[in-house]
Amino acid sequence: MASVGTYQVPQISFIIPAKNEKNNIGETIRVVMNHKWRIPIEVIVVDNESTDATCDIARSAGATVVTKKGGTIGEVRNRGVEESSAPILVFIDSDVSLTDEWFREINSVCRTMQENPYLITGSHCVPPDNGGWLEKHWFGKVSQEKKTTHLGTGHLLVTRELFDALGGFSAEHETGEDYDFCIRAKKSGATLVNNPALKAIHRGYPKSLREFVCREAWHGQGDTKSISTILSSKVAIVAILIFLFHILAISAFIYAPVNPVPLMAGLAGIVGLLFLSSIYKFRHAGPASIIINSAIFYFYYIGRLCSVLNLALGKRVRAS
């Protein structure tokens, strides 16, 4: 625990889940611990059955390490909260770096959260400055969204009072526990504030389209636990529609090559859905970004479709 003077009860608890994160965990903790804090803080790493040097590196960097065998990501994060003692909880992933801007803003944010304990804040993580084209055009633009339905647990701040009132994260969600938490919080009267001044860098964004598809297949599992969850998910429904338009276009090409109308209808359906999706999500980023991300959206929906097909096949995607 970092503190000033004699021991004091921590005012901020950083909760970091980790599994085989030897290449990331040290840097994440050191950024937090090296800051010249004026209040006492603690860093708790929840090790989820790592088989590498994650635990040793985390302890050497100054964190308290606790273990959680098995369980969903929500249960892992809840385990960290059980071991924490501060009134303000900061959830970050093991590959997230807090910035100078974040540290300049945090004192003001803490005061606001003390005045309004039913406040959830944080921000969408930004990619590194040297990130690749996918990080720049997709994740970089997503991070600039001002309005948002939820904030990810890769970088989320909440008071212990609100966390306890909600019973913590759901133990049922393999992924999407952050969305579920934020929706339940807002229903209970909490306010969600995306604060870009709390700038955090995510070093682990996908670097290739293959990694991107796998990431979205993993995240899509929260929308594809059952037929009812699929029908209630706009993303899953659009992914299915794009699949059906593919079937239409391919069938028309094979069985009705003389009549171009069905083929053109199928292609127009695919392009139209991609373009409309990009307008909805990236309208804040300008026309060029909308066009570029229309193409990236194709791979986004391929990943989400994989989650739907995995449900039909009785399979689940593992986190990478």
* pLDDT tens-digit readout, 199-237: 999 999 999 999 999 999 988 887 777 788 888 889 999
With beta carbons less than 8 A apart as the criterion, state whether 202 and 93 touch.
yes
With beta carbons less than 8 A apart as the criterion, state whether 204 and 134 touch.
no
CA distance 110 to 104: 11
CA distance 226 to 223: 8
CA proximity to 94, closest of 28, 48, 46, 169: 28
Say whether pLDDT at 104 is over 60: yes
How many Cβ atoms from other residues are within 10 Å of residue 295's Cβ? 13
- Residue 307 pLDDT level (bands cut at 50, 70, 90): confident
Say whether pLDDT at 263 is over 90: yes
Q: What is the DSSP string of 121-169?
A: EE-PPBPPTT--HHIIIIIHHHTT-SS-S---TTEEEEEHHHHHHTTSS
| Residue range 104-110: mean pLDDT, rounded | 95
| Residue range 272-300: mean pLDDT, rounded | 96
User: Exposed (0-12), middle (13-18) or buried (19+): which is 189, by Cβ within 10 Å?
Assistant: exposed
| Residue range 2-24: mean pLDDT, rounded | 81
pLDDT, residue 302, reads: 96
Q: 12-205: CATH homologous superfamily?
A: Spore Coat Polysaccharide Biosynthesis Protein SpsA; Chain A (3.90.550.10)
Q: Strand 96-98 to strand 191-194: parallel, antiparallel, or no bridges (unpaired)?
A: unpaired
Selection from 40-54, 137-151, 216-230, 305-319 with the highest mean pLDDT: 40-54
Alpha carbon 4 to its chain centroid, in Å, reads: 33
% residues pLDDT > 90 (the chain): 79
Which of 62-66, 90-94, 313-317 is predicted least confidently? 313-317
**Phi, psi of 45, rounded to the nearest 5 degrees:** -100, 125
CA distance 157 to 62: 21
pLDDT, residue 308, reads: 85
CA distance 119 to 60: 33
Say whether pLDDT at 185 is over 90: yes
Please give the residue that has the higher pLDDT: either 121 or 223: 121
**Phi, psi of 19, rounded to the nearest 5 degrees:** -145, 115
Which tokens go with 270? 């695919």
Encoded amino acid at 1, one letter: M
pLDDT tens-place string over residues 129-184: 999 999 999 999 998 887 788 899 899 999 999 999 999 999 988 888 999 999 99
pLDDT, residue 207, reads: 93
- Residue 1 pLDDT level (bands cut at 50, 70, 90): very low
| Domain edges within the chain | 12-205, 210-313
CA proximity to 120, closest of 162, 81, 74: 162
% residues pLDDT > 70 (the chain): 95
Mean pLDDT across the chain: 91
- Residue 7 pLDDT level (bands cut at 50, 70, 90): low
- Residue 243 pLDDT level (bands cut at 50, 70, 90): very high
CA distance 94 to 310: 28
Q: What is the CA radius of gyration of the chain?
A: 21
Which of 2-6, 42-46, 268-272, 308-312 is predicted least confidently? 2-6
Helix or strand (DSSP H, E) at 66: strand 64-67
- Residue 310 pLDDT level (bands cut at 50, 70, 90): confident
CA distance 148 to 231: 22
Longest Cα pair distance anywhere in the chain, in angstroms? 83
